Amino acid sequence: MAGSDLLSEGELDALTGDSTAASGGYRAFDFTAREQSLLNQLTLLPPLQERHAEQLAHGLEDVFSSEFEVSAAGLRVLACEEVLVSLAESVAVTTLDLPPLAGHCHVVCPAPLLSQLVNDYFGGVRGDSVANVQRATLTPSELRLAERVAEQVVAALVAAWADKLPLEPGPLLTVPHVDAIASLPRADKLVQMVFAVSLNELTSEVALLLPFAALEPWKQRFSAPRKSATEEVGQGWGPHLRRELPAVKVDVAVMLASRELTLGEVLSLKVGSVIDLAVPDEVDLCVEGVRLASGRYGAYEGQKAIKITGFVGPDGPKGKSTG
C-alpha cells in the first residue's frame, strides 16, 4: 500500500468517533474502571451495607442514648487522591486492622456530627444544632466520641458480615487529621462505604474505607451464585405454567379389548369379517397414551361410560374401589 493510502491518526480517530483526540484534545481514562467493574460483581455488598446501616443505627442509639437514622449512601471505588479531595477539612480518622482483610481500614467522621454529639452527650439542649460551628481542630472530647462512633461502625460491620467473612478488629487509633490516608500511594484504590447519619436535624456522612486489594481475594464470598439457564427458565415460567396447565386439552382413551391375529389372518380380512372380542371386567383409562386409571365399562344416562375403580401409581395400581 502506498504511503498516500495510509490513514492518519486524526482520520482513524474520526472514523472511530473519537472527536476529542481528533481535535487535538486529550482522552479521559478512568483508572478505577477495572476495580469498579469488579465491585459491581460483588452483588452481595449492597444488601450487606443496608444491613450494616441498620446495625449501626442500633449501636449508636445504645451508646449515645439518642435517636439516630442511618442509611447506606454510597458504595464505590476511589483512588486514594480522590478520597482525600472528597473529605471535609475537619474530620476525625480512626485507623485499624480488620483481619483477615489485609492492610489498614479507616473510619472517617466529620466535625459537625462530632460537635452535635458533644452537645447532646454533655448536657446540651436536645435538638440544638451546632452544624454551623466552624473550627480548624477537633477537641479531645470530640476525638473520644469519634472513636466511639468508629467502634460502632466496626461492630456493625462485623455483625453484618458475620456469615460471609468473620472479622477480628484490632486496636483503634483516632487522630484529627487525614495523614493515615494521605500516606498511602495516591494510586491505591479504596472501597468507600458511605453512611448518612442523622441526629436531631443534622445529617452527616460517615465513611468506611477498605483497601480494594484486601477485598479482591474474598470476592467469591460476596458474589451471588449464578443460576443455571434451567433454573432461570423454571423460575420465570413456573407461575405461568401453573395458570395455563388446567386449560390444556389432552386425549383421553379407553382400551376396551384387544386380540392378537396372525399376519395371515390380517391379510384375509375383508368387509363383513367378524373378530371375536371379549371385553374384560376392567379396562384401562389412558391420557395421551399413558395409563392413568382402571375402571368398569358400562352405560350412564344413555351414554357409554367408564366408572373409575382405581388410579395407577408409580408402584402399580392404588386406591382400588370395590363399588
**CATH no. for residue 125?**
3.40.1550.10
| pLDDT, tens only, 250-284 | 888 887 778 888 998 889 999 989 888 887 888 88
Q: What is the mean pLDDT of the chain?
A: 82
- Provide the pLDDT confidence category of residue 233 given band limits of 50, 70 and 90: low
Mean pLDDT of 1-28: 50
Instruction: Look up cell 389432552; give the residue.
Output: 250
Select, from the ranges 6-20, 214-228, 231-245, the one with the highest average predicted confidence (pLDDT).
Answer: 214-228
Residue 33 pLDDT more than 80? no
Strands in 6-123 per DSSP E:
68-79, 91-97, 104-110
Lowest mean pLDDT among 154-158, 177-181, 255-259, 317-321: 317-321
Residue, of 135 and 17, whose pLDDT is higher:
135
Residues 192 and 285 in one domain: no
Strands 252-255 and 189-199, bridge-based pairing: unpaired
Residues 157 and 286 in one domain: no
The CATH number of the domain holding residue 303 is 2.30.330
Residue 130 pLDDT more than 70? no
Rounded to whole angstroms, the Cα distance separating 301 from 58 reads 74
**Domain boundaries, position 157:** 29-222
Rounded to whole angstroms, the Cα distance separating 274 from 256 reads 17
pLDDT at 70: 97
Specify the number of domains making up the chain.
2
Backbone conformation region of residue 301, classed left if phi is above 0, alpha if psi is from -120 to 50, else beta: left
Does any domain span residue 236?
Answer: no
Does any domain span residue 20?
Answer: no
Residue 310 pLDDT more than 60? yes
pLDDT at 48: 95
pLDDT at 230: 56
pLDDT at 322: 53
Residues 215 and 284 in one domain: no
Mean pLDDT of 243-256: 84
Residues 212 and 298 in one domain: no
This model's pTM is above 0.85? no
pLDDT at 3: 47
pLDDT at 191: 92
Q: Which residues contact 269 (CB under 8 A, 6 or more apart)?
A: none
pLDDT at 226: 62
- Provide the pLDDT confidence category of residue 12 given band limits of 50, 70 and 90: very low
Examine residue 171 and say whether the peptide bond preceding it is cis (omega within 30 degrees of 0): no
Residues 198 and 285 in one domain: no
